Structure 1
Amino acid sequence: MTDVRSFARSLPPRAIAHAPASGDHPASVRFERSQPDDAERERLAATLGALLRSLRAERRLSTRALAVRSTVARSTITRLEAGERRPRPGVLAALAYGLDHENPGPVAELLQAAAADSLRPDTPQGLRRRARRFGKARREVKALRDEVGREAGRARVAARQLALAGARAFPIPPAGNLTRAQLDRLEAQLDRAEALSAECERLSRRAHDLAATLAWPYHPLERTHLERHLQES
């Protein structure tokens, strides 16, 4: 899987010329450099912002969902769409991955072209920070997938155990006429066997659903579906 650093290396050299280290400038100066004036803000909203909103709409992604898939803060996405922030190539590469992880390069190029002269150069610190966020997100999703797999295994084992218990619990009526007490006992045993069978079926369905969740081609950084299935009883 390609990471954000690979995206950055694939971008045009003019777009990723390294700026001085972030520690060389006060935070207020760095913040001011990221802020467009009114005319530039209007242009960015009509170009990059409009394109980003359109790409999200095509994929039916909210800003929150894109933030999860790209590791870009939701507030940053909102500001970019409103033209309130000059973007960096690393941020646009991450957004491209969130929009199309299988082929992010063309999407990144579209976003950069829309940003035009407002594109600010990446810094080594910024690229490292983005790579750390990306790596952390991948580790968290892997941990969730591993837990879903373990839960599916536990459900399968429990279903087999209940199937055996249900078979043993199924009553065998004694020969001859039955007393009222014997009928009551048989009915209770039958109820227990049916309850075990129903729980066995539920666990089998859960194991199947969890396995299907792992097999479905979700975005590599998407985790909502994994968390939802783990929360189900």
Structure 2
Amino acid sequence: MFEKAKDVLVIGLGIFGYELAVKLAKEGLNVLAVDKNTKIINQIKDEVTDALVADAANEDALKELSVDKFDKIILGLSSNFESLILCITYLRKLGAKNIIAKASTNIQKEILLKIGADEVILPEKEIATKLAEKIARPNILDFFELGDETAVATIKVPEKFYNKSLAEIDLRRKHNITAIILIRDGRAKLIKDASLKLEKGDELVVAGEEDSIKKVFSK
């Protein structure tokens, strides 16, 4: 059933796992959703590729899922840490390729990485960080870290740049930031003319150093 690339197994359908499974399916991925709660499986079965009732802490049950066939396995079992540890241990034994686990604390994260998880996320911590960024820097609408302290961001043009051209602002020379796309009235276009004046309501997609972007567009 799950033969093509981008096959994902989501185990544990709390709020995090359920929403993630549905969104991945809507993105066109093959998603098998697994939980030991029959009611939850009945709720999600029409929104994903397949949904099965199974106990993630049972090695035989995991074996039946052919876990080695999936590109990614996402675990949303942080409410039961013992089950999560058993699940990761069995998944590794059964040849799972890429395990992403959800943890509740930093200590849990460290333990899960040591026993075989490839990646561990702390959703509550990440949400809190993003909310703090949104409140502190309302002009930065979206922010994507590329690594090596570089990022791509969508920003709302601040008032200090109204009626000024990119040539006047000179982001590249002064701040090592490159403006790539201008979004005006809902329409996006590549920036080719640095003499174009920015207006209230404009948005820019920019690339550069994380700290520079945050500093320039925070106010």
Same fold (TM over 0.5): no
Greater length-normalized contact order (CA 8 Å, ≥ 6 residues apart): 1
The structure having more radius of gyration, on CA atoms, is 1
Q: TM-score scaled to structure 2, two decimals?
A: 0.29
> Normalized per residue, which structure has more strand?
2
